[in-house]
Amino acid sequence: MRTVHAVTDLRHAVRGWKRAGLTVGLVPTMGALHDGHLSLVRAALRGTDRVIVSIFVNPTQFDNPEDLETYPRVMEADARLLAEAGAHVLYAPTVAEMYPLGFATTISVRGVSEGLCGAHRPGHFDGVATVVCKLFLQSQADAAFFGEKDFQQVHVVRRMAADLDIPIRVEACPTRREADGLAMSSRNRRLVVPGDRDRARVLPLALGDAARAIAGGQPVGTVLAATRERLLAGGFSNVEYLELRREADLAPLARLDGQRARLLVAAWLAGVRLIDNVPVSVAGV
Ligand code: PAF
């Protein structure tokens, strides 16, 4: 695996591959890699001939300076994991490479970026859409691989690529979970007190139970209220949102009415913001 820091070096590698008729996959990350990221690398290796993994802690998508400062950065360990996984290029640009002096463009996606995380993290999805657009154009990849844990992000990225006519396939891969069901996330590393880590498992448990109750016909409002209470009683300090949304366009749903739906949550435990989502399956849909 080669590590490159400059767009010109990335483009040089990609040009060679394209000349040889090879397809290119991109896995955008902010590092602190776990098996969720590595599953995206594996999907990219199955789906394309050459795989670029980007590691860039993107300052413009952080709405909280402390979150940006304390975001885990473990580049050497990440590089080792990626080499073992079989990635071909690690692209690790500096902030100055990504946002050179005078940088003045922001991409803002309306609609799917509103509500949910968008309502609680001002500017977050502008930062995501802008950096992902740049990564798409810099890498000229044929396909890009994202985790479904960030379900709203997948919608934002798909909308952005479609609206800007970027010729790339955006693939959403299933959420990877720890043995106790907690969705894998770089932020889980911050749950350092064992009691807190144990308490975190109530999130996937409560979410799964709520999805089954809604699919079984219980009223959505009642189920969501009870699930909020369960999370708060289980040690979560705040439930930012817990909502049922249509899978296709993230429209809010008050009832299932036979549609494909997702239950999405963001909640705080011991100063750590955790997000998760599960499909709510109705027989035959
Ligand atoms: O999901 C992430 O890690 C980030 O939002 C992404 C897509 C790498 C953009 O910085």
- Write the residue with the smallest CA distance to atom 2 of ligand 1: 29
pTM over 0.75: yes
Quote the ligand 1 centre to 65 CA distance (angstroms). Answer: 17
What pLDDT, in 10s, does the model give residues 124-153? 999 999 999 999 999 999 999 999 999 999
Element housing 50 (H / E): strand 50-55
Nearest atom in ligand 1 to 186's CA: 3
Bridge partners (DSSP) of residue 252 are 245
The dihedral over CA atoms of 247, 60, 177, 208, expressed in degrees to the nearest 10, equals: -40
Quote the ligand 1 centre to 28 CA distance (angstroms). Answer: 6
Distance CA 154, CA 63 (A): 19
Q: Is the CB of 58 under 6 A from ligand 1?
A: yes
Decide if 112 contacts 249 (C-beta within 8 A): yes
Half-sphere exposure at residue 209, Cβ-oriented, CA atoms within 13 angstroms: 15
**DSSP readout, 134-147?**
HHHHHHT-SEEEEE
> Token match 């996959």: residue?
25
Distance CA 49, CA 123 (A): 35
The pLDDT, as a whole number, for residue 81 is: 98
Decide if 265 contacts 239 (C-beta within 8 A): yes
- Write the residue with the smallest CA distance to atom 9 of ligand 1: 128
| Phi, psi torsion values for 279, nearest 5 degrees | -75, 150
CA dist 6 to 19, 52, 98, 192, Å? 20, 13, 9, 35
120 in catalytic set: no
- Nearest-CA neighbor of 118 among 264, 285, 279, 237? 264
Domains and CATH numbers, the chain: 2-173 (3.40.50.620), 186-279 (3.30.1300.10)
- Write the residue with the smallest CA distance to atom 1 of ligand 1: 29
Helices and strands, number each (H, E), in the chain = 11, 9
Sheet holding 261-269, edge to edge: 238-246, 261-269, 272-280
> Token match 């109750």: residue?
213
**Which portions of the chain are predicted below pLDDT 50?**
none
